[in-house]
Amino acid sequence: MKTKTILFTALDLFALVVSACAPAASAPSADAPTLSVVGTSTADLKPDIAYIYVGVHTELPSASDAMRENNTQTQRVIDALTTFGIDAKDIRTTSFSIWPFDKYDPATGASTGEKYYAVDNTVYVTVRDLAKLGSLLDTVITAGANTVNSIQFDVADKDAALKQARADAIADAKTKAQELADAAGVSVGEIRSITFADSQYYPVYEGRGSGGGGDAASAVPINPGQLTFTVTVNVTYELK
């Protein structure tokens, strides 16, 4: 019984050695020539959502007074947002800061010797009805918001468009690879690697307002236009 076991073990080891020495017929050679190409595609979509940063900036000689006034004014802005119809989940405080600074004479640049405190409170608002965006800006500035850091447009559901753009980018890469291979007199083989990146251009409106400037805010034309999403793929093919 022991003899048979040793014999089988020896045969198994011999088979493994032979298998290890045999070349892998299906594995591509590491030295095989390759061709790398870049494929691109774009998706043009109409924005249907916007993100805006609105805030309140306050400067007073007393830190407590500056913070108290800022809190009151910020709460008026938040109340105006909810009254306008913005859902509470779409209003989020993103930053709050308070710091001291010295007052300077704007004419001479010299310090006046006065110490002031600045308070900033900024909220991030998601606007889901772009038709009301202009009116919303008018509302929050009238309520006391005196900073509008940016308005960024986006598309709420762009997954299907990006999926198609990625497929089109792969097809573009394949076409380019075939054209180059034909010109070189070789054939395109299997894909060795694929990498991709989505590049999304977001038009951003920058601006600042001041409390009580509702008429000026409503006069600002804001056109979301069109968003262009670009997909780029890098594909490496084996050549035959």
Give residue 201's pLDDT: 62
Is residue 233 included in any domain, yes or no?
no
d(CA 124, CA 53): 5
Rounded Cα distance between 13 and 88, Å, is 71
Q: What is the CATH number of the domain that holds 130?
A: 3.30.70.2970
Residue 176 forms part of a structural domain: no
Least confident residue range of 14-23, 43-52, 217-226: 14-23
Residue 107 lies in a domain: yes
In this predicted structure, what is the pLDDT of residue 30?
Answer: 63
Q: How far apart (Å, rounded) are the C-alpha atoms in residues 132 and 84?
A: 10
- Rounded CA-CA distance 7/52 in Å is 78
Cα 97 to Cα 73, 107, 121, 149: the distances in Å are 15, 28, 7, 15
pLDDT band at 22 (very low <50, low <70, confident <90, very high): very low
Residue 191 belongs to some domain of the structure: no
**Within a domain: residue 90?**
yes
Q: Are 73 and 60 in contact (CB under 8 A)?
A: no
Tell me if 97 sits within 8 A of 119, measured CB to CB.
yes
In which band, very low, low, confident or very high, does the pLDDT at 203 lie, cut at 50, 70 and 90?
Answer: low
Q: Per-residue pLDDT tens for 143-170? A: 999 998 888 999 999 999 999 999 999 9
Domain count, the chain: 1
Q: Is the per-residue pLDDT at 214 higher than 50?
A: no
pTM of the model as a whole: 0.69
Mean pLDDT of the 33-53 span? 95
Mean pLDDT of 114-121: 95
Question: Distance between CA atoms of 60 and 71, rounded to whole angstroms?
Answer: 13
Give the helix, strand, coil percentages of the chain, each rounded to 5.
Answer: 40, 40, 25
Question: Is residue 171 one of the residues assigned to a domain?
Answer: no
Residue 181 within a domain: no
- The answer as to whether 81 is a domain residue is yes
Distance CA 66, CA 43 (A): 48
How many Cβ atoms are within 10 Å of 128's Cβ, its own excluded?
13
Q: What is the pLDDT of residue 209?
A: 47
Show the domain range for 93. 48-155+204-223
Under DSSP, is residue 51 helix (H, G, I), strand (E, B) or coil?
strand
